[in-house]
Each structure stands twice: as structure tokens, then as C-alpha cells.
Structure 1
Amino acid sequence: MTMVTPRVRQDAELLRSVEDFLYFEAELLDEWRLHEWLALFSESGRYLIPSTDKPDGDPARDLFLVQDDRFLLEQRVNSLQTRAAHAEYPHSRTRRLVTNVRASSEDGHVGVRANFAVFRARNGVVDTYFGRYEHVLERSGEEFRFVTRKSILDLDALRPHGKVSIIL
């Protein structure tokens, strides 16, 4: 699916619906309602975070920080809800900003691009992750589901964080 280009006129109703979906998703993640967030994925949904040195990498060939299919994503969510997830127990406080949303519909799917900033506070330290989203959504009536949820970091390295232990 081709992503939105500046020359494409935005469908105002589609754009507003996609924005509402992204804002709801951000709320679920900031409130640590991870099982509800997981329900936003299709059965074939994938969650991807490319490495910082290959932001446009191909998950079939390149190393990704996160490359979860629906099964692995469910395992990730279950793990983050337990004490065994030491990096996130007690869980971090996060606040997400989603901006510059663009959306286009093609072949029954919706391509989405947006910018994000995620602020993570834990143990008196605030980390900032920022970048862009490139999502593919499927639509059923008024509902959207992620087919691909891709978070591309604009950081040139994960310093000082060293890792991504939260959902971006």
C-alpha cells in the first residue's frame, strides 16, 4: 500500500476517524490498558520498530528492535502485565503526542502517517522517544484494526535509554 503523499487531497471524514482512532490508542497505552490496546489489532496484525540505523529497513531482511506478529504481541502484553517485566514493574508513566496525521484509503485498507513523541517517566528519569508512525489499518464499518503498526524512531541511537521497554 502506498503511503500518503502531500499531493493527495485528504478525505476529511476519513482523516477525523483515523485521528480519533490514534488518540484513543494513545489513551489506552498511557493508561496501561494493554489488553484493550491489543484488541485494536487484526488477527494477522504486526507491530514493528525498525532499528535506529535502518529506519526504512525490511523486516524480512533487516534486524528490528521489535518485530512481533499477533501471537508474539500477545506474549509481550502479557509479560508487561507481570512483575517479571523488571524494566516495567512498576510500569512507567507515559504521555503520547500524535500530530501531523495523514490518511489515504486504497484497496480496502487505510494507510496512515503521523508524527509522535512519547515521554516516559520512571525512577525520576524522563526519556523521550520521537519519530513517525506508518500504519496500515483495515476498516470494518466504523471500526479500525491494525494490520501493521510501525513506529520509526528519529533517534540516531537508543542512548541514554538503551532499550525500548514500553509500547511506542
Structure 2
Amino acid sequence: MTGTVAVFNTASDLQQQVEQFLYHEAALLDAWRLDDWLALMHPDVEYRVPAPGSDHLDPRNTLQVIHDDHVRLKGRVTRLKSKHAHAESPHSRTLRLVTNVRVESGDGELLVHSNFHVVRTRLGQLDHFLGTYRHVLVPTGTSFLVRQRVATLDHGIVEAGGTVSIIL
């Protein structure tokens, strides 16, 4: 797929392609198809969940709940699939809603903003994660790779059940 440039006839074609990509990404995570989800990540991916209230600050100098590059993200996926992730054994069931997708283009990449609501159920506990996504997508053929994925929560971790053991 890499090496080819995606061609979109209209802005609405691009909007629809991006929305379908985000819905596909959400479906892979909800189905616990973590390896397939990881395959959507660019080799230079940055995956972050900023600490509440710090999303506007430089992540290099600010506490982050999660701040992974591709190597760390691959390790996270490996752990989540193993029995060593006690917080996710058995793994959670999730349902993701992705809404209000807005696409900006520039410099061969797309900056995409959206809202999310992730509902997690595990061992009779129901947790809600609400917030915004910021994706930087690199077009590749007829799809995209994720170069940056930032999930900013609109609430504290305690209000969401006290832990973020899933990939938001």
C-alpha cells in the first residue's frame, strides 16, 4: 500500500474515507483485533493520552497517562493479548462511538479531529471514557496510516473507573 498517493475526487469523498477509516479502527479495537489495529500505525506513530488538563502543554515536559512510540505501542499490544496484563485478563468488552469528524489537509497529511465515547464493561463494572481524538493520517493508496493519535479525556481517570488499561 505504501508508496502510492490516495486520490479523492471531492472533499466529501475524503470526509467519507476518513470517517470509514476511523470507524474501522474503532471496530478493530472493540473486536480486540489488536494486531490488525497495530498494522494501521505508521512506523513513526505517536500515541498519547495526556493527563487531564495538560492536553495543550508540550508532551515532552508534561505528565502523560500514555505516551508511546511504535516500539512501546507494539509492547502494549503484546502485553494486552497476554495473561500478564492482569487488568485485562479477561479482557474488557468495549463499545466505541466516534462522532463529529472534522478533516483538515496539508503537507501530504490529514489532521482529523473527532469526539469519542468508549464504554468499557469488565467483571460487572461499567466505565465511560469521553473525549476528543486528534489523528494525523498519512494517505497510503486507498487508505491511511496513523502517524499521531491523541485521545484527550474530558474528565479525570478516577471518574472513568481509575485506570486506562485499554487502548482508547
Q: Is TM (by shorter chain) over 0.5?
A: yes
Name stretches of at least 5 consecutive residues in structure 2 with no aligned partner: 1-9
Match in the other structure for 1:97: 97
Task: Return 54-63 or 103-112, whichever deviates more.
Answer: 54-63
Match in the other structure for 2:153: 153
8 Å Cα contact 1:111-1:137 kept in structure 2: yes
Task: Return 139-148 or 109-118, whichever deviates more.
Answer: 139-148
Structure 2 counterpart SS, 1:47 = strand
Distance 2:157 2:165 in 1: 15
Q: What does 1:1-168 align with in structure 2 at a 5 Å threshold? A: 11-159=11-159, 161-168=161-168
* Distance change >3 Å, CA 118–CA 72, structure 1 → 2: same
Cα shift readout 1:21-52 (whole Å, capped 9, x = no counterpart):
00000000000000000001010011110001
8 Å Cα contact 1:11-1:104 kept in structure 2: no
8 Å Cα contact 2:157-2:163 kept in structure 1: no
Alignment TM-score, normalising by the size of structure 1: 0.91
After TM superposition, which residue ranges in structure 1, 4 or more long, deviate above 2 angstroms? 156-160
Alignment TM-score, normalising by the size of structure 2: 0.91
Q: CA deviation at 1:162?
A: 1.4
8 Å Cα contact 1:137-1:147 kept in structure 2: yes
The residue type equivalent to 1:70 in the other structure is: H
Distance 1:57 1:103 in 2: 23
The residue type equivalent to 1:30 in the other structure is: D
Cα RMSD after superposing both structures: 1.2
Structure 2 counterpart SS, 1:118 = strand
Distance 1:135 1:59 in 2: 16
Q: CA deviation at 1:160?
A: 5.2
Aligned residues: 159
Q: CA deviation at 1:60?
A: 1.1
Q: CA deviation at 1:156?
A: 3.6
The residue type equivalent to 2:136 in the other structure is: V
Distance 1:158 1:26 in 2: 23
Identity %: 45
Distance 2:114 2:159 in 1: 23
Task: Return 51-60 or 138-147, whichever deviates more.
Answer: 51-60
Structure 2 counterpart SS, 1:159 = helix
* Distance change >3 Å, CA 165–CA 70, structure 1 → 2: same
8 Å Cα contact 1:119-1:128 kept in structure 2: yes
Task: Return 151-160 or 99-108, whichever deviates more.
Answer: 151-160
8 Å Cα contact 1:52-1:158 kept in structure 2: no
